[in-house]
């Protein structure tokens, strides 16, 4: 299902909310990643897990440095955390990944927060959601 970026984000947030509701906070990030991957894939979405983020600098290409947790339909980046709160570096990490991959929108989902609402953030890279 390729499609509307806002619809992809809505589906991802819904899956993340249901996952947080079912498992609660406190598990390893890798557990949430595997479960969210499965949840998104079961909705018919093309999801890449642990996708390499190449670094290009002055003709040099490094492809062993960074990995993104999930990329949905080659459009939406999802970075997962399992910490008590967001650290400023987490958002910086997502915006850097978005720039390096030339993607418009990312979701930072922290499953360590008490509620899912506290733990989810949208991060845009020169992207403005269409007015509905």
**Number of domains observed in the structure of the chain:** 1
The reported pLDDT for the residue numbered 54 is 86
Mean predicted confidence (pLDDT) in 21-35: 96
DSSP secondary structure letters along 35-85 = HHHHHHHHTT--EEEEEEEEEEETTEEEEEEEEEEEEETTTEEEEEE-SSS
CATH number at residue 118: 3.40.1350
Is residue 16 pLDDT above 50, yes or no?
A: yes
Is residue 64 pLDDT above 80, yes or no?
A: no
130: in domain: no
Residues 6+ apart with CB under 8 A from 39: 15, 18, 19
Render pLDDT for 69-101 as a digit per residue (tens, 0 to 9).
999 999 999 999 999 877 889 999 999 999 999
Nearest to 86 by CA among 100, 107, 65, 55: 107
131: in domain: no
Is residue 68 pLDDT above 80, yes or no?
A: yes
- Answer whether 0.85 is exceeded by the pTM: yes
Render pLDDT for 40-59 as a digit per residue (tens, 0 to 9).
999 999 999 999 988 888 99
The reported pLDDT for the residue numbered 24 is 94
- Which domain, by its residues, includes 38? 5-124
129: in domain: no
Mean predicted confidence (pLDDT) in 18-31: 95
The reported pLDDT for the residue numbered 66 is 86
Lookup: tokens for 93: 């990490």
């Amino acid at each position: 299902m390729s499609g509307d970026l806002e619809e992809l984000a809505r589906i991802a947030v819904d899956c993340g909310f249901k996952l947080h509701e079912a498992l609660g906070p406190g598990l390893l990030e890798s557990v949430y990643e595997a479960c969210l991957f499965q949840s998104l894939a079961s909705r018919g979405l093309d999801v890449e897990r642990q996708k390499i983020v190449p670094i290009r600098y002055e003709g040099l290409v490094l492809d062993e440095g960074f990995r993104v947790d999930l990329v949905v339909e080659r459009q939406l980046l999802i970075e997962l955390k399992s910490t008590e709160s967001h650290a400023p570096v987490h958002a910086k990490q997502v915006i850097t990944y978005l720039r390096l991959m030339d993607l418009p929108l990312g979701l930072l989902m922290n499953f360590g927060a008490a509620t899912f609402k506290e733990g989810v953030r949208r991060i845009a890279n020169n992207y403005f959601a269409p007015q509905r």
